[in-house]
Amino acid sequence: MSIDWLHFTPWQSLAGGMLIGLAAALLILLNGRIAGISGILGGVLRPRRGDLGWRLAFTAGLLAAPLLYRAWTPLPPVQVVAGDVTLLLAGLMVGVGTRYGAGCTSGHGVCGLARLSPRSLAATAAFMLSGFVTVFAVRHLFA
């Protein structure tokens, strides 16, 4: 397999990663909170007194970012090649995994690893391994 040079975007990827890191660092420095998206969104759905504003602002930023990016360059086309049942099952599996793993990839992979958390290292290794196995199975065993 070779690199699709027409869609290879290292500078945009680097900029996106830096923005994610900056947002995570600012949230913990200014608010003392971990930028785990599942926890932030969970707090929006089950709000506590005085805790909703920053969660809504963070979520709004996540939703607004692609629109702002689109002001400078066109967004890549979205191509979903899975059926509705597959997408539903995948979403449920992600939700169960997030609850079982006590956090999501952003909380463990970005923030937890930065804090040298052994639990986050194990969780991130499990996320990555399950992704590798799934891609291998879908592309080579079930194709």
For the stretch 98-141, pLDDT in tens is 888 888 888 888 888 888 999 999 999 998 998 899 889 988 88
pLDDT computed for residue 50 by the predictor: 85
Name residues whose C-beta falls within 8 Å of residue 143's C-beta, 6 or more positions apart in sequence: none
Distance (Å, rounded) from C-alpha 80 to C-alpha 54? 32
pTM: 0.73
Domain range summary for the chain, segments of one domain joined by +: 1-78, 80-143
Chain segment 13-60, per-residue pLDDT in tens: 898 889 889 989 999 899 888 888 888 888 898 888 888 999 999 999
Give the residue among 72, 82, 71, 65 at the shortest CA–CA distance from 23: 65
pLDDT computed for residue 1 by the predictor: 63
Give mean pLDDT, residues 57-85. Answer: 87
pLDDT computed for residue 121 by the predictor: 94
Distance (Å, rounded) from C-alpha 95 to C-alpha 15? 28
Structure tokens at 114: 């930065």
Alpha-carbon torsion, ordered 84, 67, 38, 95, to 10 deg = 10
| Residue 24 to residues 1, 7, 32, 33, 60, Cα–Cα distance (Å) | 34, 27, 10, 9, 15
Whether 67 has a pLDDT exceeding 70, the answer reads yes
The tokens 């805790």 sit on which residue? 51
Distance (Å, rounded) from C-alpha 124 to C-alpha 8? 25
